[in-house]
Amino acid sequence: MKKFFLIFATFFTFLQLGYAMRPCFTDDYGVLDNEKLEYELGIEFLSNEFSGYMSVGTGISNINTLYFVVPYQFLPERVAGDIEIVSKIKILSYEGLPYFTVKFDMIPVIGEYTITGISSLIYEKLNFHINFGYKFPEEEVPVGIAVEYRIVQFLQIIADVFLDDMKNKDTEIKILTGIRLWPTDNFAIDIGAYYGVKDEKVRYTIGFVFDTL
C-alpha cells in the first residue's frame, strides 16, 4: 500500500515525468524489477508544435510492470490528455530463445484499449523487437519492428518502423532513427527523429528516463 501511495504522490507532485522503448514506437519485452520505480519524460517538436508525455511506472512483481501515462501539448495550445494505464506481463524469458511479453494499454475515459504481443531477440550487441497489436473499438492493427545496436557500453543506435494500422492501406507509417545514452547506470537520455510517410513531416524527439536502483 505504501508503494502505491508513493507512486501516486510522486506522479501528481512532478507531473512532468513511458512506457515505450524510447524513442521508438515499437516496445521491447522488458519489465521493471519488483518494487523498482521508473520516471520518464518524452518531448516531441515540429516547428510550431510542441508535445510529449510524462509517466511513472513500478514493478508489481518480477514479471509485471504497471505504468501511468499523461500526454500533454504546449503548442499550439496548452492541454493535458487523458490518463493512460499500461500493464506489461512477461510471458517467456529463457536465454537463447525469443523473449515474449504481452502489453495492455487502457484509456478508460474514452474507452480505448489495445493489446500488444511483443517479441524480442537478443544477440550479443544486437537486439530485434517486433510488436503486433489490436486496438478496439477502432479495430486497428498496429505493427512495429525495431533494431538496436550497442556501439559501446553507454551508447546505442536505434531504428524503428511502425504502422498505425496494418489493415489500412492509407495508414501512417513512421520511420525513426536515433541514439540512446546512459550517463549513469540508472539514467538514460535519448535523441531521435522520425518521418511520417503520410504527412511528409519530420519530427524530433528527446527523452529522459530515471530508474531507482
User: What's the pLDDT score for residue 26?
Assistant: 95
Query: Can the peptide bond before residue 183 be classed as cis, meaning omega within 30 degrees of 0?
Result: no
User: What's the pLDDT score for residue 168?
Assistant: 95
Are 140 and 132 in contact by the 8 Å Cβ rule? The answer is no
CATH classification of the domain holding 105? 2.40.160.40
Q: What's the gap between Cα 110 and its chain centre?
A: 20
Distance CA 169, CA 163 (A): 10
C-alpha cell at 117: 504481443
User: What's the pLDDT score for residue 97?
Assistant: 85
Find the domain containing 136 and state its range.
Answer: 2-211
End-to-end CA separation in angstroms for the chain? 20
Is the pTM higher than 0.75? Answer: yes
Each of the 213 residues of the chain gets a pLDDT tens digit; together they read 444 444 433 333 333 333 447 889 999 999 999 989 999 999 999 878 889 999 999 999 999 999 999 998 887 777 878 899 999 999 998 887 899 999 999 999 999 999 999 999 998 899 999 999 999 999 999 999 999 999 999 999 999 999 999 999 999 999 999 999 999 999 999 999 999 999 999 999 999 999 986
Domain count for the chain: 1
Distance CA 111, CA 126 (A): 37
User: What's the pLDDT score for residue 77?
Assistant: 76
